[in-house]
Amino acid sequence: MIAVASTMIWIAVIYEIMKPSKEQNNRKIIILTSFGTLSTLMITIALFQDLPFLSAGYIEEMLISGGAG
């Protein structure tokens, strides 16, 4: 769900940037870019949390078993 919202935000940023400079709303661009960055960061953190080799259980298992395998 957040990925869809993030995509929509970035599309809105691109749409706003493509306008002629006199029609661009700099405040809108800054706000949309900030929210886009935040949402992308949230997605990135969520993806990294799902990686098995970053979990404490995986590290403990590797230490106990003596390595990969």
Q: Is 20's pLDDT higher than 90?
A: yes
How sure is the predictor about 61, in pLDDT bands with cuts at 50, 70 and 90? confident
Question: Half-sphere exposure of residue 14, counting CA atoms within 13 Å on the CB side?
Answer: 6
pTM: 0.70
The tens digit of pLDDT for each residue in 21-34 reads 999 999 999 999 99
Q: How many domains does the chain have?
A: 1
3-class secondary structure, 1 = coil
Over residues 44-58, mean pLDDT: 75
Where in the sequence is the domain holding 6, given as residue range(s)?
2-65
Measure the CA–CA gap between 54 and 66, rounded to whole angstroms. 17
Cβ-contact 25, 16 below 8 angstroms: yes
Supply φ then ψ for residue 39, to 5 degrees: -65, -40
Spacing of C-alpha 23 from chain mean position: 29
Looking at per-residue confidence, does 40 or 69 come out higher?
40
pLDDT at 49: 80
